[in-house]
Structures are given as structure tokens and as C-alpha cells.
A = this chain, B = another copy of it.
Amino acid sequence: MNDERGAWLPQPGPDELDIGTVLQALADPTRRQIVALLDVVGEATCTSLDLPVKVSTVSHHMKVLRESGVVSTRVDGNTRPSRLRHADLERRFPGLLTSIIRATPVPSGSSTRSDDADDR
């Protein structure tokens, strides 16, 4: 009954972003790795990311990131590509996300799994 193309999973509005919730989300190393990867590839799904945790855990982390307002998730068929809410975060917390990404080393070899890969 929901044939809406371009559906988005529920997320806080740009003015509802809470610094505590955002920091708690970004405090986890795995979630920070997800953020760093998203910054590189632009958009990715849970299974496309090559992380040292199980997919169900990645899904959990993505939910935390979405509910905190760090990422937004789009419904596309049976996949849910997520991307960083770079503009919203920059407007609300200038420099925060950028500094974190810049200081978060991306483990070599962990890009994506040829889902929407960029290089090569």
C-alpha cells in the first residue's frame, strides 16, 4: 500500500540534532569507521561495507547513526543505502564531522565490496 518512490527511514529533523546523541553515536569505533567509509564512497548499504562485525551488527550501528541524525537512509528496492548528513551536521555543529573524519584513519583495503565502489 506504500508505493511511494523515494521513501526515507525516519530520522530527526535538522533542528532536532542533539550534541549528546551525536557524540554518543560517534564515540563508537565501528560507527566512526562506517562514517569514514561513507565519506569516501558517498553511499553504501549494510552488506556493501566490509567491516569486522556481522551484518546484523552493522544494521544496528546504522540505525544508531540514523536515529542520531548522522546518516540518512533511503529505501531502494530491497536495499537501504545510507549517506552522511554532511550539510545538516555542518550547519548545526561546524567543523565537528569534518574534524572527526579527517582524524579517523580508514583501514587500508576496507573500501566497499564492489557494490558502488569508486576506484580501480
Contact = CB atoms under 8 A, between A and B. Distances in A.
Interface of A: 19-20, 23-24, 26-27, 29, 32, 92-96, 98-100, 103-104
Contacts of A19: 32, 99-100, 103-104
A26 B98 CA distance: 17
Given A20-B32, A23-B27, A27-B23, A99 B103 contact: no
A104 B92 CA distance: 12
Contact of A95 (B23, B29, B95, B104): B95
Nearest to A96: B99
A26 B103 CA distance: 16
Closest 5 CB pairs of A and B: A95-B95, A19-B103, A27-B27, A93-B99, A96-B99
